[in-house]
Amino acid sequence: MGRLILVVLGKQGAGKGTQCKRLAERYSIPHVSTGDMLRAAVKAGTPVGRDVAAVLEAGELVSDDLVNRLVEERFAQSDAAAGALLDGFPRTFAQAEALETILGEDGVKLCVNLDVPVELVAQRLSARRVCVECGAIYTDTDPEAVSGRCSVCGGSVVQRADDRPEAIRSRLEAYERDTAPLLDFYRDRDLLVSVDGARAPDEVTAAIVAVIDERFAS
């Protein structure tokens, strides 16, 4: 199947993280989430983390240069030789262009757009809870969210600061303004496939797997 570089696009709360975790396991390629990388930097208190903490909390985008650099460094690691599932990157035209430069000839093979109406993502985001240690994703009624304890790793389950109403609004605005135009960027390159992401996670996974397996029959 060659180097399998997949971009997963979709509004915040469309299910990118959930689907990328499953697909990464199925195809044995790393899940590269710039949001997870930035949150880890904030948590670790690195210089980058200190620079971006307030931006993340407000739900704004961090600079293209910084994110492009993080992704370039990530692609230099050996596990990305087999491919990668890109979650939350690219998010702007400048990032999509930078990604083409980073990857060169052997570029993005497919862009999956997880299509979910804005009312549903807003509802999902306000109910979302996450494990601060392993990133497992829950909803507010799951026992892990009620007890505050992750059943995967025992870490604390919390609401992300940017899943509060104010930040949700600015993140969805940033999506419409900066990221939605990337659908055309990938459509123009014949790489775009849209999948109905409003269904149950298992059904969405099955739909994406069907597309990947059909296009890249091993």
Active site residue 69: no
Residue among 77 and 147 whose Cβ is closer to ligand AMP? 77
CB of 139 to ligand AMP, least distance (A): 17
Report helix angle 201-215 to 16-27, nearest 10. 50
**Site for ligand AMP contains 53 (CB under 6 A):** no
**161/168 Cα distance (integer angstroms):** 10
Q: How is residue 27 written in tokens?
A: 């195809």
**15/17 Cα distance (integer angstroms):** 6
Active site residue 91: yes
CB of 74 to ligand AMP, least distance (A): 12
Active site residue 3: no
CB of 75 to ligand AMP, least distance (A): 14
Active site residue 160: yes
Residue 142's SS3 state is coil
Q: Which residues are catalytic?
A: 16, 91, 128, 160, 171
User: Where along the sequence are the contacts to ligand AMP (CB under 6 A)?
Assistant: 12, 34-35, 38, 55-56, 59-62, 67, 88-89, 91, 95, 162, 171
